[in-house]
Amino acid sequence: MITVQGFEGRRVGVLGLGRSGLATCAALRAGGADVCAWDDSPEGRAKAEAEGFSPVDLTKSGAVDDLAALITSPGIPHLYPAPHPVIAAASAAGVPVDNDISLFFQALADSDDAPRVVCVTGSNGKSTTTALIAHLLEEAGREVRMAGNIGTGVLSIDLPGDEGVVVLELSSYQTDLARRLAPDVAVFTNLSPDHLDRHGGMGGYFAAKRRLFSEGAPERAVIGVDEAEGRYLAMQLGQGAADSRVIRISSGQKLQGPGWSVFARKGFLAEWRGGRQVHAIDLRPLAGLPGAHNHQNACAAYAAVRALGLAPRQIEAGLASFQGLPHRSQLVGERNGVRFVNDSKATNVDSAAKALQAFPRIRWIAGGLGKEGGIAALAPYLGSVVKAYMIGHSARDFALQLGAIPHEICETMENAVARASAEAEPGEVVLLAPAAASFDQYPDFEKRGAHFTALVQGLAEA
């Protein structure tokens, strides 16, 4: 655990008592703060009590007025679509509002032997890129801690020793609020519309991501330039085309110029520096990184660890041993020549499009709690779909947007897996890429993916 100093004997509010909130409470208490913990749910407050914290109702009038700071969990709105009442009260009282990511960087600033820190943000591919960076470093013999949006509260980790690295996945919710950001290497994967209500539109969403670079001032920035926002960010950060502090990455286009770039085309990753190719890797055999979207993740991870001093051959060996993450283009079974792939994390149209481009013949399971626009934007990517099997709340709405694509309304995952597996032929892939949230039938995308995986394993045992 990291001890947060600077609040000895002072009242500090913690709003939201999930995994990161409880870790924040413990880190503040270890540093001598008087922790005022609050969660709107009785379940959250009960968890805090079990950890030895007595909840303090911060919603009461005047409860936040004498706080030294209010530390809030990332899922709680602080501006759009409307600030949480406790945050609004803190803002009105002049109380600084911050988050655990900021406290982490504050703690590192007070350390004499702080580790190197890599931060990864973007719309899609953050988790895979984060895990791949950590894997490549570990395979090269470096001590690594992985935390942030990927599931571990950053203040709950123990800092690595000499030559160690902390790798953080950061969502826009986290980068938007953090008062202190100071990564050594910062990665921007890509940008597509998401969380727009939380950021007041696309401009606010990009601005939240951009803070990691504008406020963080990393020594090295790895920037995906396949969208206009990434190209703009790379231009802003660089001091000219040859500035090697910016490493441009792409999936699908060859990057020109005298600077430092890493790109993937037709399944091959290439690193270029000073106008010449330094190294190339064939990504096509890598089972843990299928498809162009994962090739972009590979480029981002490759660039990040190159910036930390790893040699190309070390990276190539690490890429070959990477098994991928659960629920992200995860091969969960094979039966009679048919592969079953779990991409439950594909909760929006953009991530589903990437999954649909990764395989040639697909039995597609999709649906759930659809987002604005449904799946209309996926029309250019449905050429590989043999048949679609629609589930969940949006099944019928999605079916109406499929045009001439053969489809079936299955409603439940059980029916969809049974029908798809019965009709699939050797060489085809049964792909779960819902293009929708899970909350109509499952508490989260992990539970949805786990259910799909269990059903597939049940087929193998039948």
Pairing of strands 330-335, 338-342: antiparallel
- In this prediction the pTM is 0.86
DSSP 160: P
pLDDT for position 324 = 86
Binding residue numbers for ATP: 122-128
Residues 109-139: b if buried by 16+ CB within 10 A, e if exposed:
eeeeebbbbbbbbbbbbbbbbbbbbbbbbeb
Alpha helices in 241-348 (DSSP H): 291-307, 312-321
User: What average pLDDT does the structure give for the chain?
Assistant: 95
Q: How far apart are CA 202 and CA 196, in angstroms?
A: 6
pLDDT for position 111 = 83
Contact 74, 99 (CB under 8 A): yes
pLDDT for position 185 = 98
Domains annotated on the chain, with CATH: 11-98 (3.40.50.720), 112-321 (3.40.1190.10), 330-461 (3.90.190.20)
pLDDT for position 462 = 58
Q: How far apart are CA 200 and CA 203, in angstroms?
A: 8
Q: How far apart are CA 325 and CA 297, in angstroms?
A: 12
- Dump pLDDT digits (tens) for 16-54: 999 999 999 999 999 999 999 999 999 999 999 999 999
Q: How far apart are CA 169 and CA 149, in angstroms?
A: 5
Q: How far apart are CA 318 and CA 136, in angstroms?
A: 5
- Dump pLDDT digits (tens) for 364-419: 999 999 998 999 999 999 999 999 999 999 999 999 999 999 999 999 999 999 99
| DSSP annotation string for 122-158 | SSSSHHHHHHHHHHHHHHTT--EEEEETTSS-GGGSP
Q: How far apart are CA 138 and CA 11, in angstroms?
A: 39
- SS3 for 96? coil
- Locate 103 and state its tokens: 């406290």
- Residue 34, Cβ neighbours under 10 Å: how many? 15
Long-range interactions of 199-203: CB distance < 8 A, separation 24+: 199/80, 199/172, 200/79, 200/80
- SS3 for 449? helix
- Locate 185 and state its tokens: 């290497």
Alpha helices in 308-394 (DSSP H): 312-321, 349-356
Q: How far apart are CA 33 and CA 47, in angstroms?
A: 19
Q: Report residues of the chain scoring pLDDT below 70.
A: 461-462
pLDDT for position 193 = 83
DSSP 2: -
Binding residue numbers: 122-128
